């Protein structure tokens, strides 16, 4: 739910598919859709041909407005996926 509420992934169903496909990791470990998220953890995800790594700053209870999304997670790294 964090991926959708924070705006890192645009739709909940996409976030679930990404987790089921092993494309989401928390602190280096592949996670399931219902895995808990805590402040200061690192989340890495592959969305399309991009791999991004974030540090969790806040845990929103509901989807946040676009202007507030930078306060939810800090982008640490963004790189293209090797084909």
The per-residue pLDDT for range 34-68, each reduced to its tens digit, is: 899 999 999 999 988 999 999 999 999 999 999 99
pLDDT digits (tens, 9 = 90+) for 28-38: 999 999 899 99
**DSSP class of 73:** E
pTM of the complete model: 0.88
Pick 83 or 74 by higher pLDDT: 74
Fold of 2-80: 3.10.290
Please tell me the predicted confidence (pLDDT) of residue 26: 97
Contact 25, 45 (CB under 8 A): yes
Please tell me the predicted confidence (pLDDT) of residue 81: 86
Contact 77, 25 (CB under 8 A): no
Helix or strand (DSSP H, E) at 13: helix 12-20
For residue 46, give the 3-state DSSP assignment: strand
State both tokens at 47.
């969305």
The Cα–Cα gap between 68 and 71 comes to 6
Please tell me the predicted confidence (pLDDT) of residue 73: 96
Closest to 4 measured CA to CA, from 47, 64, 76, 55: 64
């Amino acid at each position: 739910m964090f991926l959708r509420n924070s705006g890192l992934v645009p739709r909940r169903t996409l976030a679930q598919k990404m987790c089921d496909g092993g494309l989401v990791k928390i602190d280096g470990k592949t996670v399931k859709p219902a895995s808990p998220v805590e402040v200061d953890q690192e989340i890495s995800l592959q969305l399309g041909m991009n791999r991004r790594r974030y540090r969790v700053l806040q845990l929103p209870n509901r989807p946040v407005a676009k202007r507030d999304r930078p306060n939810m997670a800090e982008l640490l790294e963004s790189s293209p996926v090797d084909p």
